[in-house]
Amino acid sequence: MGIARTIILIIVVVFVLIFSLYNANAVVTVIILGKSFKTTVALLALYSFLAGIVSLIIFAISEEIGLRIKINRLKKENKELKKEINSLRNLPLGKEEE
C-alpha cells in the first residue's frame, strides 16, 4: 500500500510541476469581491489548492468532533447497560415451590 501511495504521489507532483512550468508566464486577472488582481495561472492553482486543503481540514475537524461526541455517548450507554446486566445477574432466579 505504501509503494502505491508513493507512486501516485510522485505522479501527481510531476503533473503539478509540468502544469506550473507550462503556465509560469501566463498572467490572468482575477476579480474577487470587486477587487482586481493580476497573477499567474500556476500561482492561482496553488492558492486554489491551499483553499481546498483549508476547507478539507475544517470539515475533517467538525466530523472528528461529531464522532468523538457520539463515541462518548455510546461509551456512557455501554457502561449503563453493563451495570444493568450485572444487577440482573445478582437477582434470584425465582421462588422455590415446595
What pLDDT digit, counting tens, does each position of 10-66 carry?
A: 888 888 888 778 777 888 888 888 899 898 887 888 888 889 999 999 999 999 999
Task: Estimate to the nearest angstrom the gap between the alpha carbon of 5 and the chain centroid.
Answer: 18
**What is the Cα–Cα distance from 22 to 74, expressed in whole angstroms?**
53
pLDDT at 98 exceeding the cut of 60: no
98 within some domain: no
Number of H helices, E strands in the chain: 2, 2
The pTM of the full predicted model, rounded to 2 decimals, is 0.58
Let me know if residue 97 belongs to a domain: no
Q: Which domain holds residue 72?
A: 2-89
Question: Is 8 inside a domain boundary?
Answer: yes
Using alpha carbons only, give the angle 71, 87, 83 rounded to the nearest 5 degrees. Answer: 15
Q: How many domains does the chain have?
A: 1
- Asked whether residue 28 is assigned to any structural domain, the reply reads yes
Q: In which region does residue 38 sit, left (phi positive, over 0), alpha (psi from -120 to 50) or beta (all else)?
A: beta
Residue 36 located in a structural domain = yes
